[in-house]
Amino acid sequence: MRRYAKYLCLLPLTAILALRADVRGCHCDLNNPVEMAQKQCALCALAEKQPAYLTVFFLKDSNPTKPDRLLALPRVHGPGEHLLSSLSPETRLELWSAAIARAQEAWGDQWGIAFNGVEKRTQCHTHLHIGKLLPGTENDRFTVVSGPADIPVPPDGTGILIHPVDGKLHVHLGDAAPELRLMR
């Protein structure tokens, strides 16, 4: 037990970090300045500053450990955890289409786009991570779709990863933190 004692001090830190990466129960009331000042509502506040005519906008990921990462966000807010299912089909299509176009521009055919599940997100506002797909991360649990209009909505707040293969898209559902398959 004594040799593990030095690691016990890390338990509170681990618990705090685990709590930070969970947006279940987030509300981000746009009319409540105190709530909007919370870290998990920062992307909601940025979305509010975008021109109303925009449907989708892009931001460089502010995390210094992810210098090559870009975010695609809808201008519109969803309720609570901002699930992809809360967006209209037209907004989802525009979000996926714009993100794919930007990903191809940046990474050719080596891109990946990830949407983390609610328990692994630190920001509640819907945002897609755009980056280079890490080699060797493909697995055999995927669905093949023809394009952005065919991308399914992840069930129950889980994550989704999409990437190109032979002119089609591989869609991986059920991973809570698919952004980990993208280059930082």
Do the Cβ atoms of 23 and 40 come closer than 8 Å? yes
For the chain, what is the domain count? 1
Residues in the chain: 184
Q: Is residue 142 part of a domain?
A: yes
| Stated pTM of the model | 0.84
Q: Is residue 38 part of a domain?
A: no
C-alpha 155/C-alpha 47 separation (Å) is: 24
Domain that includes residue 99, residue range:
43-181
Q: Is residue 8 part of a domain?
A: no
C-alpha 181/C-alpha 8 separation (Å) is: 30
Q: Is residue 13 part of a domain?
A: no
Q: Is residue 17 part of a domain?
A: no
Q: Express each pLDDT in 59-97 by its tens digit.
A: 999 899 999 999 999 999 887 788 899 999 999 999 999
Identity (one letter) of the amino acid at 155? P
| Mean pLDDT value of segment 1-27 | 43
The secondary structure of the chain in percent helix, strand, coil, rounded to multiples of 5, reads 35, 20, 45
| Mean pLDDT value of segment 111-123 | 92
**Quick one: pLDDT band at residue 27, thresholds 50, 70, 90?**
low
Residue 13, pLDDT score: 34
Q: Is residue 53 part of a domain?
A: yes
- In DSSP terms, which residues pair with 59 in a beta bridge? 71
| Mean pLDDT value of segment 119-125 | 86
C-alpha 129/C-alpha 103 separation (Å) is: 10
Residue 57, pLDDT score: 97
Q: Is residue 96 part of a domain?
A: yes
Which H or E run includes 143?
strand 143-145
Return the CATH number at 128: 3.30.428.30
Backbone torsion region of residue 122, taken as left when φ is above 0, otherwise alpha when ψ lies between -120 and 50, otherwise beta: alpha
Identity (one letter) of the amino acid at 36? M
Q: In what order do the strands lie in the sheet with 111-115?
A: 56-60, 70-74, 128-132, 111-115, 160-165, 168-173, 143-145
Q: Express each pLDDT in 42-60 by its tens digit.
A: 888 899 999 999 999 999 9
Residue 117, pLDDT score: 92
The pLDDT of residue 7 is above 70: no
Question: Longest Cα pair distance anywhere in the chain, in angstroms?
Answer: 61
Task: Please report the sign of the dihedral spanned by the C-alpha atoms of residue 46, residue 47, residue 53, residue 59.
Answer: positive
Q: Express each pLDDT in 156-168 by its tens digit.
A: 789 999 999 999 9
**Quick one: pLDDT band at residue 17, thresholds 50, 70, 90?**
very low
